[in-house]
Amino acid sequence: MNIDQIKKEFPIFDEKIQNNDLVYLDSANSSQKPKIVVDRINEFYTKQFSNVGRSVHYLAVAATNLYENTRSSVQKYINAKDKNEIVFTKGATEALNLVANTLGQSYLQEGDEVLITELEHHSNYVPWHFLRKSKNIKINFAEINEEGEITLEEIEKKITPKTKLISITHLSNVTGAILPVKEITQLAHSKGIIVVVDGCQGAPHLKLDMQDLECDFYAISCHKMYGPTGLGVLYGKKKWLEELPPYQGGGGMINEVKKDKISYGELPNKYEAGTMATAQVIAFDQSIKFLESIGIENVMKHEADLVEYGQELLQKNNSVKLIGNPKNKGGVLSFTIEGVHPHDIATILDEDGVAIRAGHHCCQILHDKLNIPASARASVGIYNTKEDLDQLNQSINNCKKIFNL
């Protein structure tokens, strides 16, 4: 695998960003886009555009086929059993809201407990909080250990007879911990508990196999997977998607509409009300092709090498403190520098063209637990190199110099 060659497929790296070469270390936030994805959007709008699933004219039929083709590609990529288990949403946030909302409507009852973890992104906490408000369900938190991991034992400890659902991240966007989702699912299912997985960080960086993981729901963010913004995927087991009520009402999701009664459409239309992000869905097929052309095993190997290299580099840099040290870690390096606030770090690094994120990364619960208001985070993607991490380290040193450390 030739990373320089792969990097060339991303037009943004030809740009000078404030006169610097771009060192993009913010892929956990959103990944850059390969040319084939950008071109596909352009091509669809220029030569093939039509709405899908409505009209019978040539363009409409062709667009519908392209749209459904991506659904099949996603099904294959994540090894879902059925094509109708793939629902397009406006993002992983909407996917998680869809799950919480529909389970809240027809499954979860007052007093039921939902178990999440201290690692969760706000998008896997706030939707459950809505149910805490409206249905009086209880939310419990599995706690992180010293290394910033959530263990199977901790999950087991926090399960009570009232636990109806466990909703967990696949890969923490702050500590990088990869959760034992398969084992947690086996445990949960043995107790009749549903499992929802926030796969935002998992999907771009790990091998996905829904039939092996066996979770009930899995939310994916396409823009973190070298795909377009405004698009997410919800994988849901067919029996759940069939059983649960629709999430939004509108065109496309209905079967028959009368003044006194309405019946809903079949899967997957039932959950895709209104005109969907058509161009994005069609272009997302190219993102999957891109990932397949490299091979997810190669992606994982490359990113594991990078994170190991970066970890060693930053561990050796005194004043830098890494957040979390999980055994099983994805491509995220969160850190603090004693005496420099993360926002100041991010501004100073930016001056060298090093793009990182500073803040609480939508994980306030975790930062409260760690007793820090914010952290700096460098996260890698397939286009990153060891030289990028060397530059990160060098810019951190510049930051220390400015702050007289």
Give the interface with another protein as residue ranges (CB under 8 A): 18, 339-344, 347-348, 351, 358-360, 364, 367, 373-374, 402-404
- What's phi and psi for 401, nearest 5 deg? -65, -45
Question: How many angstroms separate the first and last alpha carbons of the chain?
Answer: 40
Pick 61 or 362: Cβ nearer another protein: 362
In angstroms, the CA 163 to CA 186 distance is 15
Three-state DSSP class for 61?
helix
Closest approach, Cβ 130 to another protein, in A, equals 18
Closest approach, Cβ 381 to another protein, in A, equals 22
In angstroms, the CA 405 to CA 398 distance is 10
Structure tokens at 250: 């509108």
In angstroms, the CA 129 to CA 283 distance is 34
Pick 18 or 190: Cβ nearer another protein: 18
Of 127, 79, 87, 135, the C-alpha closest to 107 is: 135
Of 3, 66, 13, the C-alpha closest to 35 is: 13
Structure tokens at 28: 């956990």
Of 275, 212, 204, the C-alpha closest to 233 is: 204
Closest approach, Cβ 255 to another protein, in A, equals 42
Closest approach, Cβ 286 to another protein, in A, equals 32
Whether 200 sits among the annotated catalytic residues: the reply is: no
Pick 7 or 357: Cβ nearer another protein: 357
Sign of CA pseudo-dihedral 316, 347, 330, 390: negative
In angstroms, the CA 5 to CA 1 distance is 8
The kind and range of the H/E element at 375 are strand 375-379
In angstroms, the CA 312 to CA 48 distance is 49
Pick 281 or 323: Cβ nearer another protein: 323
Pick 190 or 404: Cβ nearer another protein: 404
Pick 289 or 341: Cβ nearer another protein: 341
Residues 6 or more apart whose CB falls under 8 angstroms from that of 361 comprise 28, 121, 173, 174, 334, 375, 377
Helix axes 35-43, 278-294, angle to 10 degrees: 150
Marked catalytic residue, from 200, 215, 222, 362: 362
Pick 17 or 60: Cβ nearer another protein: 17
Structure tokens at 311: 């970890």
- What's phi and psi for 336, nearest 5 deg? -130, 160
Closest approach, Cβ 392 to another protein, in A, equals 17
- What's phi and psi for 337, nearest 5 deg? -120, 125
Q: Which residue numbers are catalytic?
A: 362
